Amino acid sequence: MAQKMIMSKLFKKTLLIIIILFIVIAVTIAISSGWNLYKDLVQEYKSKGTAIAKSIAGSSVETLLNRDASTIQAMIDQFLEISGVFYVFVVDAQGEIVSHTFVPNVPDEILKIKNEKAKTISIQDLNTEGGGKFIDIAAPILEGIAGYVHVGMDKGMIMSQMQAAMIRQLALIAIIFIFSVTMAYFLVNKISQPLNQLSEYARKLASHDFSSNVDIKSHDEIGLLADTMKSMATDLREVFDRYEQAINDAVVELQNTLAYLTAVIDNMADGLLVTDTDGVITHVNPALSYMFALRETDLIGKNCRDLFGNEFAELVRKSIDNSYEVYTSEIGLAHNRIGRAVATGIHQDTFETDDKGIGSVILIRDITSEKEVDRMKTDFISTVSHELRTPLTSVRGFTEIIKRKLEDDIFMKFSDDSDKKTVKAVKRIRENIDIILSEGERLTALINDVLDISKLEAGKVEWKMENIQPADVIERAIGATSSLFEQKKLAFVRDIDNDLPEVIGDKDRFIQVVINLLSNAVKFTETGSVACRVKRTGNEVTVSVIDTGIGISDADKEHVFEKFRQAGDTLTDKPMGTGLGLSICKQIIEYHGGRIWVESELGKGSSFFFTLPVNAKSGHTSARGVDIIPGKEV
Ligand SMILES: Nc1ncnc2c1ncn2[C@@H]1O[C@H](COP(=O)(O)OP(=O)(O)O)[C@@H](O)[C@H]1O
Ligand SMILES: [Mg+2]
């Protein structure tokens, strides 16, 4: 199909060009040769006519002079037989027609010219109404004295001769035309055939078939084209081979990398689960299948909500929504084991979109034994603390009794007049008993804090959730710490907004938090003031405790909320607390869905902030044992 098209198109074009060319040539030749022929024939007729007229004029002098009309008639009649001669007539000097060859009469137009008198040959064109066109040649007889001979040459003859000549010419051109078209047909065929071969070859190359060849041996442009295409094909084949090799290498490398990564993932001790943005599981490793006692095929393609419940699905959804946060949650595994799931959103930089969330990756670690150890630790701490508290209470109680007895009954007796040694001893005993009492108090506080934190961590705290007015909480805490301010002579600034919204939480625990913060502020401030502010900020109530004390260095700021962490050098400085207060505060606030943080500059004071969400539904998930705690650290 394509072949024929190419051939016929090429041939059609050639044919069109040939036709146009021939028309132009034919018209040009016809016009120019017709014109030349016409001129030549006219010239020929003129000279023929002149010769005839002269010869008649020369030979008829005598006859004319004798006015022998019949002889003249006989003479002129014979000239009519010469081709092209249409008429001959003779006039005398007076212009009278002596004889003529017209049948039956001389036409009027001829009569008009018979009287012209010239001394030499005169030629003119004549057009008669019905008689056609003539060239009239007039020859004087004896310089016109004896009369004139007129010979009329027929122009119509010229035309018909010309016509015949042109028909012959056109016939010749037509023959040449047919011949050229046939030639062109074969020539075009001869060109288009290798062209077709070439186009077929090019088509094969385009479909990457490098095994085909083309057999054109001519040394013309087509041969050159064929050679060029062949060498191009060789080059292309090399390039393709190279690329194929490169792609194969890349594929092998990719496969190896993939196999390596798969091996790493498959041999992880932790369970790995990947979901898409809809929470549908796309990938799991063998450890995970084992943890849930499910086969991989039971997991892949399933929605994690259907398999692991709402809590887990919620964790996945949160990590997808906030792909830069890490979310953790506990999850029940098969065989009564407990796992901790750590979920993070997967985001990917692609060419089209930058940073697009594509799912979530969840790592699950079996924490059953840790939980068990934790539980044992908590139990142990609770028991020990409890056991310590009882004797400690006795120690403190008896110390106080001893102190009172000593003061009331014994020290009284050693008044100022006693000897110096006794006075000194009394002073020493008093100081030492005071130390026993204050250290006993510190020990009680420590035991209480330790008990608190272990209960919080074990989730054994019983929360009394209720609607609370934040202002009440603050007032209660201020009341409990007012004596501290008096002791240290620090100014206290209170700045509490009116119309604060209610929050839901455990009131006693909130009071504990504020007391902790206020007592810290007093403890670490020597001069200046302590301020307590409560404001509504959006959907939260923000409480801040601001002091002008020693401040906290940047390095310590990160750690003050950790257990047993005290800023500064605890070895040289006298410890003034347990280092558990802020850790307890953090646990309580985060349980209620709030945040706690510190801003501080060393030497200039510290500001502790915490937020409580308004309308918080906090606590409910945790109360059921699963704690979803946002945070960077795992
Ligand atoms: N208002 C404050 N100014 C300076 N340092 C503080 C302040 N509050 C707490 N800190 C630092 O944080 C540490 C931890 O505080 P906390 O957990 O309450 O323990 P404790 O009060 O028993 O030392 C403190 O020991 C102290 O170094
Ligand atoms: Mg404290």
Q: What is the pTM of this model?
A: 0.48
Among the atoms of ligand 1, which is closest to the Cα of residue 551? 4
Average pLDDT over residues 586-603: 93
pLDDT greater than 60 at residue 628: no
* Distance from Cα 623 to the centre of ligand 2, integer Å: 27
* Distance from Cα 543 to the centre of ligand 2, integer Å: 17
At 366 the pLDDT is 94
User: What does each C-alpha distance from 373 to 227, 305, 477, 545 come to in angstroms?
Assistant: 84, 30, 36, 37
Alpha helices (H) in 491-535, listed in sequence order: 507-523
Which region among 436-440, 513-517, 568-572, 584-588 has the lowest average model confidence (pLDDT)?
568-572
Average pLDDT over residues 430-458: 89
Give the pocket of ligand 1 (CB within 6 Å). 516, 520-521, 524, 547, 549-550, 552, 560, 565-568, 577-583, 606
Ligand in closest contact with the CA of 558: 1
At 615 the pLDDT is 66
Higher pLDDT, 115 or 524: 524
* Distance from Cα 577 to the centre of ligand 2, integer Å: 6
Alpha carbon nearest to ligand 1 atom 4, residue: 551
* Distance from Cα 61 to the centre of ligand 2, integer Å: 168
**Please, are residues 600 and 556 in contact by the beta-carbon 8 Å criterion?**
no
Location of structure tokens 């209660």: 476
Ligand in closest contact with the CA of 556: 1
pLDDT greater than 50 at residue 622: no
Tally of helices (H runs) and strands (E runs) in the chain: 16, 18
Question: 291-346, pLDDT tens digit by residue?
Answer: 999 999 999 999 999 999 998 999 999 999 888 889 988 899 999 999 999 999 99
Nearest to 194 by CA among 214, 176, 211: 214
Nearest to 382 by CA among 460, 435, 279: 460
Which region among 175-184, 391-400, 610-619 has the lowest average model confidence (pLDDT)?
610-619
Alpha carbon nearest to ligand 1 atom 24, residue: 566
At 575 the pLDDT is 56
Ligand in closest contact with the CA of 446: 1
Q: How confident is the model at residue 194 (pLDDT cuts 50, 70, 90)?
A: confident
CA–CA distance, 407 with 483 (Å, rounded to integer): 25
Where is mean pLDDT largest: 45-54, 157-166, 390-399, 572-581? Answer: 390-399
- Residue 131 sits at φ, ψ, to 5 deg, of -100, 0
At 2 the pLDDT is 46
pLDDT greater than 80 at residue 177: yes
Question: 65-103, pLDDT tens digit by residue?
Answer: 776 778 888 888 888 888 888 888 888 877 788 888 887
Q: By three-state DSSP, how is residue 626 classified?
A: coil
Among the atoms of ligand 1, which is closest to the Cα of residue 605? 3
Best mutation site among 444, 527, 552 for ligand 1, i.e. most ligand atoms within 8 A of its Cβ? 552
Alpha carbon nearest to ligand 1 atom 2, residue: 521
* Distance from Cα 588 to the centre of ligand 2, integer Å: 14
Average pLDDT over residues 167-181: 86
* Distance from Cα 433 to the centre of ligand 1, integer Å: 27
Alpha carbon nearest to ligand 1 atom 18, residue: 581
Alpha carbon nearest to ligand 1 atom 8, residue: 520
Q: By three-state DSSP, how is residue 244 classified?
A: helix
* Distance from Cα 329 to the centre of ligand 2, integer Å: 29
CA–CA distance, 489 with 493 (Å, rounded to integer): 13
Residue 24 CB contacts under 8 Å (≥ 6 apart), including other chains: none
Ligand in closest contact with the CA of 567: 1
* Distance from Cα 567 to the centre of ligand 1, integer Å: 7
Query: What integer best gives the mean pLDDT of the chain?
Result: 85
* Distance from Cα 516 to the centre of ligand 1, integer Å: 9
Question: 4-55, pLDDT tens digit by residue?
Answer: 445 567 778 878 888 888 889 888 888 888 888 888 888 988 898 899 888 8
Alpha carbon nearest to ligand 1 atom 9, residue: 520
At 417 the pLDDT is 66
At 116 the pLDDT is 66
Which region among 106-115, 166-175, 528-537 has the lowest average model confidence (pLDDT)?
106-115
CA–CA distance, 606 with 529 (Å, rounded to integer): 11
Among the atoms of ligand 1, which is closest to the Cα of residue 565? 14
Alpha carbon nearest to ligand 1 atom 7, residue: 520
At 632 the pLDDT is 32
Q: What percent of the chain has pLDDT over 90?
A: 38
Which amino acid does the sequence have at 265? I
Ligand in closest contact with the CA of 547: 1
Where is mean pLDDT largest: 173-177, 305-309, 564-568? Answer: 305-309
Question: What is the 8-class DSSP label of residue 325?
Answer: S
Ligand in closest contact with the CA of 545: 1
CA–CA distance, 184 with 8 (Å, rounded to integer): 12
Among the atoms of ligand 1, which is closest to the Cα of residue 582? 17
Question: 359-399, pLDDT tens digit by residue?
Answer: 999 999 999 998 888 788 888 888 888 888 889 999 999 99
Higher pLDDT, 536 or 120: 536
Alpha carbon nearest to ligand 1 atom 11, residue: 567
Among the atoms of ligand 1, which is closest to the Cα of residue 545? 1
* Distance from Cα 514 to the centre of ligand 1, integer Å: 13
At 109 the pLDDT is 74
Residue 186 CB contacts under 8 Å (≥ 6 apart), including other chains: none
Question: 259-290, pLDDT tens digit by residue?
Answer: 999 999 999 999 999 999 999 999 999 999 99
At 57 the pLDDT is 82
pLDDT greater than 90 at residue 62: no
Nearest to 140 by CA among 178, 108, 92, 68: 92
Contacts 24+ apart (CB under 8 A), 204-209: 205/229, 205/232, 205/233, 205/236, 208/240
Ligand in closest contact with the CA of 576: 1
Question: 289-299, pLDDT tens digit by residue?
Answer: 999 999 999 99
Location of structure tokens 């001394």: 119
Q: How confident is the model at residue 349 (pLDDT cuts 50, 70, 90)?
A: confident
Average pLDDT over residues 520-531: 93
At 633 the pLDDT is 33
Q: How confident is the model at residue 173 (pLDDT cuts 50, 70, 90)?
A: confident
At 631 the pLDDT is 35
Q: How confident is the model at residue 172 (pLDDT cuts 50, 70, 90)?
A: confident
pLDDT greater than 80 at residue 253: yes
**Please, are residues 126 and 110 in contact by the beta-carbon 8 Å criterion?**
yes
Best mutation site among 441, 524, 553, 608 for ligand 1, i.e. most ligand atoms within 8 A of its Cβ? 524
Pairing of strands 491-496, 529-537: parallel
CA–CA distance, 377 with 3 (Å, rounded to integer): 92
At 15 the pLDDT is 81
Higher pLDDT, 208 or 401: 401
Q: Within 10 A of 30 (CB to CB), how many other CB atoms are there?
A: 14
* Distance from Cα 579 to the centre of ligand 1, integer Å: 7
* Distance from Cα 523 to the centre of ligand 2, integer Å: 8
Which region among 104-113, 180-189, 498-507 has the lowest average model confidence (pLDDT)?
104-113
